[in-house]
């Protein structure tokens, strides 16, 4: 069996839409801030032949290993960095990879991470309540669940998970501490919510909230998006795929702000911000997968793609 055939499988979302949104062209430079298994990167490299270049970033060292194997035919055109995209500008400078003609963020979690029990992301498999994107991170899901006071835990689950039963869940968690495995936590949340969740698993929102908190996903996204302005060349594009409302709202607000002139608070009699527009929207409407892709890859159903171009 070939090495490629033994690689874990992750189906990238909106591949055609990504390359079109990035306006991938031969000889240009692109950054994949969430390299994963290299699916989007392969499509970008293929379309940027013969002399295009790609810098791939991922917090997960296992993802870097998989991508290096999958993209071995593009070794001369690729640089892989095991780091967090919150350090985007520094990474690009260190690798002499500026200016950039396209930057991609495919947020969230990969199928490989979700399906690996020991990573602790899924309530479908029993494993340690870890949830870290990379092993260098110190804080785990178990740390949060077992250390936060009840009010702080309820607030975290309510804000990050948009969970209406956050107080009841936090109260039940406190009563059942210590909690160290995914199925322990899923069972406790299930006791609170029962069958009231509808089509999704009762623990979905709680697990999402913990994952976001462990990996500082929203904070890191805000910092990284700001850095794209300094990294992009004229007419370079930033493309972001998000999977839940909190991420999408941040992306939408960032792009909206950077397409405007004045960003002074409403009612300010005279502009004092001196803000200059740095982006223009390429598509005012959010881009979502077609029904055919959703049927073949159900995890794509919540994907939303937004794209803007550097002025």
pLDDT at 59: 95
**Inside any domain, residue 237:** yes
**Inside any domain, residue 118:** no
**Inside any domain, residue 111:** no
CA distance 173 to 146: 8
By CB neighbour count within 10 A (0-12 exposed, 13-18 middle, 19+ buried), where does 73 fall?
exposed
**Sheet (strand 279-281) strand order:** 78-82, 53-58, 29-32, 100-106, 232-242, 304-310, 279-281
**Inside any domain, residue 113:** no
Range of the domain at 263: 4-106+217-310
- Residues 100 and 11 both lie in one domain: yes
- Residues 131 and 208 both lie in one domain: yes
pLDDT tens readout for residues 97-111: 999 999 999 998 887
- Residues 189 and 228 both lie in one domain: no
**Inside any domain, residue 62:** yes
Please say which residue of 215, 246, 267 terminates a domain: 215
Please say which residue of 215, 249, 282 terminates a domain: 215
Please say which residue of 192, 215, 238 terminates a domain: 215
Instruction: Identify any residues that bridge with 240 across adjacent strands, giving them in sequence order.
Output: 105, 306
pLDDT at residue 142 greater than cutoff 80: yes
The rounded mean pLDDT for the chain is 91
**Inside any domain, residue 119:** no
CB hemisphere CA count around 120 (13 angstroms): 23
Please say whether the beta carbons of 224 and 105 come within 8 A.
Answer: yes
State the residue for tokens 């210590």: 178
Tokens at 14, concatenated = 């909106």
Question: pTM to 2 decimals?
Answer: 0.91
pLDDT at 4: 42
**Inside any domain, residue 117:** no
As for how many domains the chain has, the answer is 2
Least Cα distance to 3 among 62, 69, 80 occurs for 69
Tokens at 227, concatenated = 């850095």
**Inside any domain, residue 116:** no
- Residues 211 and 253 both lie in one domain: no
- Residues 221 and 300 both lie in one domain: yes
């Amino acid at each position: 069996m070939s090495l490629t055939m033994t690689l874990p499988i992750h189906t990238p979302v909106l591949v055609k839409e990504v390359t079109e949104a990035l306006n991938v062209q031969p000889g240009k430079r692109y950054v994949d801030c969430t390299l994963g298994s290299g699916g989007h990167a392969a499509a970008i490299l293929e379309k940027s032949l013969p002399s295009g270049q790609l810098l791939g970033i991922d917090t997960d060292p296992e993802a870097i290993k998989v991508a290096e194997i999958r993209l071995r035919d593009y070794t001369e055109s690729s640089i892989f960095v095991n780091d967090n995209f919150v350090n985007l500008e520094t990474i690009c400078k260190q690798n002499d990879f500026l200016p950039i003609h396209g930057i991609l963020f495919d947020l969230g979690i990969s199928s490989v991470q979700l399906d690996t029990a020991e990573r602790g992301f899924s309530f479908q498999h029993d494993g340690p309540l870890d949830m870290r994107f990379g092993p260098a991170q110190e804080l785990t899901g178990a740390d949060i669940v077992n250390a936060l006071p009840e009010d702080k835990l309820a607030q975290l689950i309510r804000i990050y998970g948009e969970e209406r039963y956050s107080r009841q869940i936090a109260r039940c968690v406190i009563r059942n501490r210590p909690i160290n495995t995914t199925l322990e936590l899923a069972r406790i949340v299930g006791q609170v919510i029962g069958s009231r969740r509808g089509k999704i698993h009762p623990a979905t929102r709680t697990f999402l909230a913990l994952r976001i908190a462990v990996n500082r996903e929203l904070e890191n996204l805000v910092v990284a998006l700001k850095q794209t302005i300094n990294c992009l060349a004229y007419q370079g594009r930033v493309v972001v795929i998000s999977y839940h409302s909190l991420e999408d709202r941040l992306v939408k607000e960032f792009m909206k702000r950077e397409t405007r002139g004045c960003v002074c608070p409403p009612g300010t009699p005279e502009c004092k911000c001196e803000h200059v527009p740095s982006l223009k929207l390429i598509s005012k409407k959010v881009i979502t997968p077609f029904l055919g892709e959703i049927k073949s890859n159900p995890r794509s159903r919540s994907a939303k793609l937004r794209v803007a171009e550097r002025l």
